[in-house]
């Protein structure tokens, strides 16, 4: 395959393992009795137990270092995977890391606020600031930027999920990686299914596949907002990412959001998510998480059961990681 676009023109610091595996889910496919399912294992990116944010951080941290930053500040929920991986990337590169974590999930028990990702944040040496809500988080970020300047340092701020056009470059690159793997495996997938919240992973994949003229459909399973708000966010970020790549934005009809797996709220378990976790664990030895990949897999299972994917189709589940959060859910 000859790439039309060279993402290597942008600064990048290699932090993760790659290419991540592309594996068949033979027992799950047989159990569901429908399409042939595969999994793209971005839970295997390596850095501090892996996950999709590593690909974004390779570009975000390179940009920060080029700008002379000695401190990284980011935000995310108390059990944020992005925060954990940002802390790990900063530790690897010798940067100070400030994590501002608003309480986005209606829980304040000790299990949720001491275990899982939060335990790892402290282990990785990050300075952790748990605050009441998003408004308090914004105020604390401003304070930390000012504090950094007063001590003679320079801060780089990454928004929640690392979802900027620069961060999305990690998934522009990942789109080409997947196409090369599909060619090597001689599979022709009809659909990719991936969790989406802040939108960077989906925006990057949409842009990357468009840059290489791939007809593969991508479905983002909304796990933070409703479908309309998620779609608006992804469209805007995909446009910014395409502009960075000096390319037209992906067409709006390419942005397909599944909005019926969110449940009552972000981070709250659902029956379908629990079934998805159990099926993948017991049939494939594949561990999902309760906030992102579990709900995304529930969306894929539903597509198969409703026959939106035919038995002759091939579909790829993009595993975004997040397993440390399991230990905060009990």
In the predicted structure, residue 294 carries a pLDDT above the cut 80: yes
Tens of pLDDT along 145-196?
999 999 999 999 999 999 999 999 999 999 999 999 999 999 999 999 999 9
149 lies in the same domain as 38? no
Can you tell me which residue has the tokens 């003679």? 152
223 part of a folded domain: yes
Tens of pLDDT along 312-321?
999 999 999 9
Residue 215: CA atoms inside 13 Å, Cβ hemisphere, count?
A: 3
In the predicted structure, residue 4 carries a pLDDT above the cut 80: no
153 part of a folded domain: yes
- State how far the Cα of 271 lies from the Cα of 262, in Å rounded to an integer: 11
Tens of pLDDT along 95-104?
999 999 999 9
119 lies in the same domain as 266? no
Q: Which residues are catalytic?
A: 80
Tens of pLDDT along 115-124?
999 999 999 9
The arithmetic mean of pLDDT across residues 72-78, rounded, is: 97
Which band of pLDDT confidence, cut at 50, 70 and 90, is reported for residue 8?
A: confident
What is the residue range of 127's domain?
53-162
Q: What is the pTM of this model?
A: 0.96
Can you tell me which residue has the tokens 């974004």? 56
Query: Considering only CA atoms, which of 281, 221, 218 is closest in space to residue 250?
Result: 218
In the predicted structure, residue 40 carries a pLDDT above the cut 80: yes
131 lies in the same domain as 170? no
CATH number at residue 148: 3.40.50.1100
Our measurement of the distance from residue 174's CA atom to the centroid of its chain's CA atoms, rounded to an integer in Å, reads 12
Q: Give the pLDDT of residue 274.
A: 98
In the predicted structure, residue 2 carries a pLDDT above the cut 70: no
36 part of a folded domain: yes
Asked whether 196 and 204 are in contact (CB, 8 A), the reply is no
1 part of a folded domain: no
Single out the residue in 162, 195, 218 at which a domain terminates: 162
Domain total of the chain: 2
* SS3 per residue for 17-50: CCCCCEEECHHHHHHHCCCEEEEEEHHHCCHHHC
2 part of a folded domain: no
- State how far the Cα of 173 lies from the Cα of 276, in Å rounded to an integer: 28
Q: Give the pLDDT of residue 6.
A: 79
């Amino acid at each position: 395959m000859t790439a039309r676009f060279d993402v290597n023109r942008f600064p990048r610091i290699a932090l993760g393992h790659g290419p991540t595996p592309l594996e068949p889910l033979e027992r799950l496919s047989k159990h569901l009795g429908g399409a042939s399912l595969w999994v793209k294992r971005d839970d295997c990116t390596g850095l501090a137990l892996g996950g999709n944010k590593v690909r974004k951080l390779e570009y975000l941290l390179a940009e920060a270092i080029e700008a002379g930053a000695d401190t990284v500040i980011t935000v995310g929920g108390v059990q944020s995977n992005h925060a954990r991986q940002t802390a790990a990337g900063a530790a690897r590169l010798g940067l100070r890391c400030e994590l501002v974590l608003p309480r986005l999930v209606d829980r304040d028990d000790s299990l949720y606020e001491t275990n899982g990702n939060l335990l790892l944040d402290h282990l990785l040496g990050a300075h952790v600031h748990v605050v009441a809500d998003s408004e308090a988080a914004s105020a604390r970020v401003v304070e930390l930027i000012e504090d950094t300047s007063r001590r003679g340092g320079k801060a780089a701020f990454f928004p929640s999920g690392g979802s900027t056009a620069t961060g999305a470059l990690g998934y522009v690159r990942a789109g080409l990686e997947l196409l090369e793997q599909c060619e090597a495996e001689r599979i022709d997938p009809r659909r990719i299914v991936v969790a989406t919240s802040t939108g960077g992973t989906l925006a990057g994949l949409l842009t990357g596949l468009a840059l290489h003229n791939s007809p593969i459909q991508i479905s983002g399973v909304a796990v933070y907002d409703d479908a309309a708000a998620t779609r608006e966010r992804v469209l805007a970020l995909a446009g910014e990412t395409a502009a960075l790549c000096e390319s037209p934005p992906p067409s709006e009809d390419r942005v397909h959001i599944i909005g019926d797996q969110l449940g009552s709220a972000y981070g709250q378990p659902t029956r379908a998510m629990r079934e998805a976790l159990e099926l993948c664990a017991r049939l494939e030895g594949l561990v999902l998480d309760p906030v992102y990949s579990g709900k995304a897999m529930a969306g894929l299972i539903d597509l198969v059961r409703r026959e939106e994917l035919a038995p002759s189709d091939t579909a790829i589940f993009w595993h975004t990681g997040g397993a440390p959060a399991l230990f905060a859910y009990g």
